[in-house]
């Protein structure tokens, strides 16, 4: 094709698209919604996009779900069915179009859609786009749209019961294509919500717009080759090996409609500013909004994208597989133009879970059922999903599961990616990382309390003691405080003193522990390159205020101590520092820290060496230029905070002072 012919063809395509755009009629259906509990009388105003919990909250019918122990008081919501309705007008121009479709990009999850009293759609997948031809149902003037959401918890319980005596480990949530974290996690609340979580629309057109050509302007490879030490695992971008420094990303809110563009910007900038070049979108959440990936494209952050399966086996019936195929191909086609995505991964931890989590014993699975479960697993993650992905994106690598080997197995150190939970779950010493660094460590971490300013917001004064019911309600990890105190006892303070601590000091020490752990673990990982070619801390962010492995706080995405550690450890202009001297073994003296504030700067000086110097301002949840710093004797450092605060109430902590109190 010569240049002139090419030019004419491009002009024709542009005019075709312009013509379609000029005459298409697209109407967002986000106004005038109301909701009610099914079969009750009274309707209340609803917000779209939204979910039932946020609508109940906006109407002051429930208390703040995150406050104190309100979570357990709101479990009734997930057992009800909920109705949403609106009225919209169809213009004469829309009715003349050859095609008129209702389009839903996000229905969560079991939804029956009625237009003008006719059932036009039954949806059962939160991750799919649903399109339905409504030309024959649509009428001039007012059109009534009603959506009835069935309780996802009731449905999955029913499906699991119907399957008995066959069992799918480890939770009935395995039956539903819905964000798995909605059913509760070891860092998240159980709000099994429902609702219209993305804006629906009406599309009227004569001809469909052509799909834009799929172009990926970089070459992405995942290299897994046998070598003298096992099997490599690293990414090559445009022919160059890249050491990945990053974190695991979970949904940024328990209620997805609250994650605005501004919130996405805060979260992604927290990764960029910490010198990260990779985020792993974890498989128990959602396929994120395009804006999330736009920001990753912009800031040079590579994305490891899990499909939305986490820690369960799967149903093997045709309907489930067909549903997943539609989901996978829709999401890959939606996201494939983002250059930041470097990997499609089948699931989070399902392979290693089946082989190592003791399901056969704990769930009394028969050999026949175990064989069936594994067969269905292989059919989906080894055979079907890679085939479906390749049909729409043959330019990126696919990995069946992360990881393939449990952290207790030797192969987790020598081949594949590794979720190294000997640290924390295995209660191993932090120093063990020196001999147990895998080829690509895609999960590891240390739990800490949320920032104390968050604890103050979610508690009453009488709640602020270890281990009050409210404090426990915001700590979801199994035996979490026992494990945390085991590490504090080894690295910071004798366990007999811990129970005497106030929550603020306890919070400080847990964050010092997380800082110490992450600083040294990253340093060890990076020191082993090129044997090790990636380190992704668990986790970047939280979805509510909670004790977790996150390095940032839910409230305003404020850094926790470990964020400052990782920012330093991920620098490329210097070798990360490794200092495995246990703080409990330090000979600390009173540093006699003095400080003064000028504008938004705090000037700090210590007469003796000071470790883990932490500054807080009452009521402030913004970002400091630095924190949890070390001061040498006689050294002065200046730390700034964002914005202006009138008469700030400042507290300055150091390790010596906190330990001395006990």
At residue 5, the pLDDT reads 44
Task: Give the pLDDT mean for 376-403.
Answer: 97
For residue 212, name the pLDDT band (cuts at 50, 70, 90).
confident
Q: Is 210 exposed, middle or buried (0-12, 13-18, 19+ CB in 10 A)?
A: exposed
Q: Report the chain's mean pLDDT, rounded to a whole number.
A: 94
What's the pTM?
0.94
pLDDT tens-digit readout, 527-552: 999 999 999 999 999 999 999 999 99
User: Is residue 267's pLDDT more than 60?
Assistant: yes
Q: What is the rounded CA–CA span in Å between residue 610 and residue 629?
A: 8
Q: Is pLDDT of 421 > 90?
A: yes
Query: Which runs of E-coded beta strand occur in 116-250?
Result: 118-124, 130-133, 141-149, 195-196, 201-205, 220-223, 226-227, 230-231, 234-237, 240-242, 244-249
| φ and ψ at residue 356, rounded to 5 degrees | -135, -5
| Distance (Å) of CA 507 to CA 352, 454, 462, 481, 513 | 33, 11, 17, 12, 10
pLDDT at 4: 53
pLDDT at 17 over 60: no
What tokens does 460 get?
């009453």
pLDDT at 18: 44
584: left (phi over 0), alpha (psi -120 to 50) or beta: alpha
- State the distance between the two ends of the chain, measured CA to CA, in whole angstroms: 81
Q: Which residue has the higher pLDDT, 661 or 19?
A: 661
pLDDT of residue 622: 86
Confidence band of 6 (pLDDT split at 50, 70, 90): very low
DSSP state at residue 384: I
CB atoms under 10 Å from CB of 177, counted, come to 19
| Nearest to 313, CA basis, from 481, 173, 161, 482 | 173
* Average pLDDT over every residue of 166-175: 93
Measure Cα distances from 366 to 166, 168, 354, 357, 378 in Å.
9, 12, 14, 16, 18
What pLDDT score was predicted for residue 2?
A: 52
Which structure tokens are listed for 100?
A: 């008129």
The alpha-helical segments, DSSP class H, found in 407-533 are 411-414, 452-458, 469-473, 480-491, 495-498, 503-527
Q: Where are the alpha helices (H) located in 52-123, listed in sequence order?
A: 52-58, 70-73, 92-95
Q: In the predicted model, is pLDDT for residue 351 greater than 70?
A: yes
**Residues 486-499, mean pLDDT to the nearest whole number:** 96
Residue 58 is predicted with a pLDDT of 98
Residue 23, pLDDT score: 62
For residue range 509-525, list pLDDT tens digits in order: 999 999 999 999 999 99
Give the mean model confidence (pLDDT) for residues 148-168: 96
In this predicted structure, the answer to whether residue 200 has a pLDDT above a threshold of 70 is: yes
Q: What is the pLDDT of residue 53?
A: 98
What is the model's pLDDT at position 646? 84
Residue from 171, 160, 168, 173 nearest 109 by CA: 173
Convert the pLDDT of each residue in 423-450 to its tens digit: 999 999 999 999 999 999 999 999 999 9
């Amino acid at each position: 094709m010569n240049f002139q012919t090419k030019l004419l063809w491009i002009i024709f395509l542009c005019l075709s698209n312009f013509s379609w755009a000029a005459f298409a009629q697209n109407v967002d259906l986000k106004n005038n919604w109301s909701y009610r509990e099914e079969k009750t009388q009274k309707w209340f105003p609803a917000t779209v996009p939204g979910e039932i919990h946020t609508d109940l909250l906006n109407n002051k019918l429930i208390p703040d779900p995150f406050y104190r122990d309100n979570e357990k008081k709101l479990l009734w919501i997930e057992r009800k069915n909920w109705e949403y309705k609106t009225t919209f007008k169809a213009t004469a121009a829309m009715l003349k179009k050859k095609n008129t479709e209702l389009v839903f990009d996000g229905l969560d999850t079991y939804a029956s859609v009625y237009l003008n009293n006719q059932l036009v759609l039954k949806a059962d997948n939160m991750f799919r786009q649903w399109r339905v031809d409504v030309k024959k149902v649509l009428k001039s003037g007012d059109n009534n749209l009603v959506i009835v959401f069935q309780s996802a918890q009731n449905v999955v319980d029913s499906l699991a019961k119907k399957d008995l005596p066959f069992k799918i480990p480890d939770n009935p949530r395995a039956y539903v294509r819905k964000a798995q974290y909605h059913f509760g996690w070891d860092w998240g609340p159980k709000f099994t919500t429902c609702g219209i979580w993305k804006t629906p629309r009406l599309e009227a057109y004569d001809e469909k717009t052509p799909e834009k050509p799929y172009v990926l302007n970089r070459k992405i490879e995942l290299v897994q080759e046998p070598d003298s030490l096992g099997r490599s695992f690293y990414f090559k971008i445009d022919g160059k090996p890249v050491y990945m420094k990053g974190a695991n990303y979970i949904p940024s809110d328990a209620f997805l409609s609250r994650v605005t563009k501004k919130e996405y910007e805060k979260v992604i900038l927290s990764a960029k500013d910490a010198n990260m070049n990779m985020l792993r979108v974890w498989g128990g959440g959602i396929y994120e909004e395009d804006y999330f990936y736009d920001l990753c494209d912009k800031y040079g952050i590579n994305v490891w994208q899990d499909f939305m399966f986490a820690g369960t086996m799967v149903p093997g019936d045709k309907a489930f597989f067909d549903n997943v195929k539609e989901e996978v191909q829709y999401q890959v086609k939606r996201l494939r133009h983002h250059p930041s995505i470097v990997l499609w991964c089948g699931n989070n931890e399902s392979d290693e879970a089946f082989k190592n989590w003791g399901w056969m014993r704990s769930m009394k699975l028969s050999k026949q059922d175990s064989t069936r479960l594994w067969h269905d697993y292989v059919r989906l993650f080894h055979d079907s999903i890679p085939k479906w992905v390749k049909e729409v994106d043959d330019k990126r690598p696919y990995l069946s599961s992360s990881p393939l080997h449990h952290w207790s197995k030797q192969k987790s150190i020598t081949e594949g990616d590794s979720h190294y939970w000997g640290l924390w779950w295995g209660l191993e010493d932090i120093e063990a990382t020196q001999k147990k660094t895998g080829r690509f460590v895609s999960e590891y971490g240390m739990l800490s309390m949320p920032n104390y300013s968050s604890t103050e917001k979610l508690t009453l004064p009488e709640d602020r003691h270890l281990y009050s019911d409210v404090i426990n309600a915001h700590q979801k990890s199994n035996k979490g405080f026992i494990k945390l105190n085991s590490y504090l006892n080894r690295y910071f303070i004798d366990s007999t003193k811990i129970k005497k601590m106030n929550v603020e000091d306890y919070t400080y020490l847990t964050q010092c522990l997380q800082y110490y752990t992450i600083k040294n673990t990253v340093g060890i990982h990076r020191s082993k390159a090129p044997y090790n070619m990636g380190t992704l801390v668990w986790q970047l962010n939280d979805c509510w205020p909670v004790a977790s492995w996150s390095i940032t706080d839910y409230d305003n995405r404020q850094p926790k101590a470990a964020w400052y550690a990782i920012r330093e450890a991920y620098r490329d202009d210097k070798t990360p520092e490794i200092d495995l001297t246990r703080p409990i073994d330090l000979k600390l003296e009173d540093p006699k820290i003095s400080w003064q504030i000028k504008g938004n700067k705090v000037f700090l000086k210590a007469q003796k060496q000071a470790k883990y110097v932490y500054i807080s301002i009452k009521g402030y949840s913004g970002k400091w230029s630095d924190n949890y710093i070390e001061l040498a004797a006689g050294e002065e450092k200046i730390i700034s905070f964002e914005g202006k605060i009138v008469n700030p109430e400042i507290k300055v902590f150091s390790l010596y002072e906190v330990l001395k109190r006990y």
